[in-house]
Structure 1
Amino acid sequence: MRHYLMVRPAYFDVAYSINPWMDPGKPTDAGLAVAQWDWLRDLYLDLGHRVDLLDPVPGLPDMVYAANGATVVDGRVLVARFRHRQRRGESVAYLKWFAGHGYRDVRQARWANEGEGDFLVAGPRILAGSGFRTDPRAHAEAAAFFGLPVVGLTLTDPRYYHLDTALAVLADDVIVYAPEAFSEDSRRRLEQLYPDAVVASAADTAVFGLNAVSDGRHVILPQAATRLMAQLRERGFEPIGADLSELLKGGGSVKCCTLELRHGGEEH
């Protein structure tokens, strides 16, 4: 069983552009966003996972992308410090939620750090992205805070502005990624660590196929990533296609909506 934190997109909108996927000129439908989000939350519950909710805040339309709010390992919580001013108010909501739900070791990052957008826990290590949002100095900060080795990876293509748009952790020792998203040094590092990694096609990454959540067996990913679904089946996983097309207008999909709480605290 996994434990997730999510934020209902009650105030979802694309009123500004802070990534290549966002176009304020395109209309959005908050009702449709909520319906698609409800489907994802209900799926997690049907699969036997636990889902906690953080209340959305008016004026913070990107709060639905809960993965960006923090990184949680063994109950220790490093809350995000967002690079763009439009999202900085979200950190306050996350700090309050974790403090109010029994987490004893909670603090906000010193350096720009966008939570699981750029920090993906992979078994005994954390894979950490930089290049567009997270400050490279945040990697050492996370390593010291969590007591885990952090593998720095440099993103070079603005379409992959967060690590979770270019790489997904399928199991402790299995990843899927898009090599074209990374610097040459980072590609070599991934090849050394994961020689049997799944390599995604350009067609699947173009539909946000790598913004996926795996519980070690089921992999929930955008339904348009059809080739990737076939690759996952060949590796023994059970892919489940999701339609989060409305939320994709803000530059996020399955993983962006899902913050994993690893060995979280108890409510009091």
Structure 2
Amino acid sequence: MTVADVSGEPDRRFSVVPPRRARTRRYAMTPPTYFAVEYAINPWMDVSTPVDTERAVAQWEGLHRTYLDLGHSVEVVAPEPGLPDMVYAANGGLIIGDRAVVARFKYPQRAAEASAYARWMTDLGYSPVTTRHRNEGQGDLLPVGSMILAGTGFRTDAEAHDEIAAAFGRRVETLTLVDPRFYHLDTALAVLDDTTVAYHPPAFTAASRERLRALFPAAIEVGSADAHAFGLNAVSDGRHVVYPRAATGFGEQLRAAGFVPVGVDLSELLKGGGSVKCCTLELYG
């Protein structure tokens, strides 16, 4: 079995499909009770486009149910009025083991979310720390194996990467984004297991593309149609990959690489510039 690359040619890296093993995960999600598009801080947001909050809640509940059906646990963070983007829980910070770093947001419209997520972390028994420089949590900080892939270019300061490395005692690999449509790392790259990622090459600088190819020679390179459908804003347990079902080509690539694609519809939440991963903060063991 082979998987097609972005050119449509068979990718011989997956001529022998490796076994994929799921691992039970612990997630956190915030219901979109107050979700709205009241401002525009990314290219996906349009204040003139109506938002159906009931539909957004129904789609969010579908994602929540999907995780439970896959055997994972989900902590529900209480939403707060006046914070319409709080549904994008991934941006709240980074938690690994007994350590937690809370976000420091770029835009003032989201700044109060940091306090909300810090209170939640404290209630769970963490002692969250802050960074001096801007970081937008798991939007730009994605653990893979023993390292952390760290995005910069739009939201998270490169200087924060050193702070993250010190906080968690892990190697941090800096990746620079260049396309404003992919303003967070988790919109352009998905961690599939401890050694495999999928990403959209045009979202990165040439140097970052070269680094990704060196780190992950068996990575899945995803084409524009699926990337623009936010297909890479996905969550994997090592075998099952929950992703926006509109990214049909990516689903086929996942299947050919031995993963089990689980498509969901979060089209209403995409109006705010987020999808599956944006709505999911993982609590890493």
Q: Could you say whether these structures have the same fold, taking a TM-score greater than 0.5 normalized by the shorter chain as the test?
A: yes
In the aligned structure 2, how far is the partner of 1:254 from the partner of 1:75? 25
Residue identity in the other structure for 1:8 = P
**Which string of whole-angstrom CA distances, capped at 9 and with x for unpartnered residues, describes residues 110-143 of structure 1?**
2100000000000110000000000110100000
Residue 202 of structure 2 corresponds to residue 180 of structure 1 = yes
In the aligned structure 2, how far is the partner of 1:59 from the partner of 1:219? 32
Q: Which residue of 2 aligns with 1:126?
A: 148
Residue 117 of structure 2 corresponds to residue 94 of structure 1 = yes
In the aligned structure 2, how far is the partner of 1:251 from the partner of 1:239? 22
In the aligned structure 2, how far is the partner of 1:133 from the partner of 1:213? 21
In the aligned structure 2, how far is the partner of 1:9 from the partner of 1:109? 27
Of 205, 212, 215, which residue of structure 2 is paired with 1:193?
215
Of 241, 257, 260, which residue of structure 1 is paired with 2:263?
241
**Residues 128 and 151 of structure 1 are in contact (CA less than 8 Å); yes or no, is this contact kept in structure 2?**
yes
Secondary structure of the 2:85 match is helix
Secondary structure of the 1:120 match is strand
Residue identity in the other structure for 1:35 = A
Of 23, 36, 40, which residue of structure 1 is paired with 2:46?
23
**Which segments of 5 or more consecutive residues in structure 1 lack a partner in the other structure?**
264-268
**Residues 131 and 156 of structure 1 are in contact (CA less than 8 Å); yes or no, is this contact kept in structure 2?**
yes
Residue 10 of structure 2 corresponds to residue 9 of structure 1 = no
TM-score computed with the length of structure 2 as normaliser? 0.91
Of 53, 70, 77, which residue of structure 2 is paired with 1:47?
70
Q: Which residue of 2 aligns with 1:85?
A: 108
In the aligned structure 2, how far is the partner of 1:20 from the partner of 1:75? 35
**Which segments of 5 or more consecutive residues in structure 2 lack a partner in the other structure?**
1-23
**Residues 160 and 181 of structure 1 are in contact (CA less than 8 Å); yes or no, is this contact kept in structure 2?**
yes
Within 5 A, what are the aligned runs for 1:104-183? 105-183=127-205
**Residues 95 and 108 of structure 1 are in contact (CA less than 8 Å); yes or no, is this contact kept in structure 2?**
no
How high is the sequence identity, in percent, across the aligned residues? 58
Residue identity in the other structure for 1:226 = T
Within 5 A, what are the aligned runs for 1:197-236? 197-236=219-258
In the aligned structure 2, how far is the partner of 1:75 from the partner of 1:209? 31
**Residues 19 and 251 of structure 1 are in contact (CA less than 8 Å); yes or no, is this contact kept in structure 2?**
yes
**Residues 217 and 238 of structure 1 are in contact (CA less than 8 Å); yes or no, is this contact kept in structure 2?**
yes
In the aligned structure 2, how far is the partner of 1:238 from the partner of 1:119? 24
Equivalenced residue count is 262
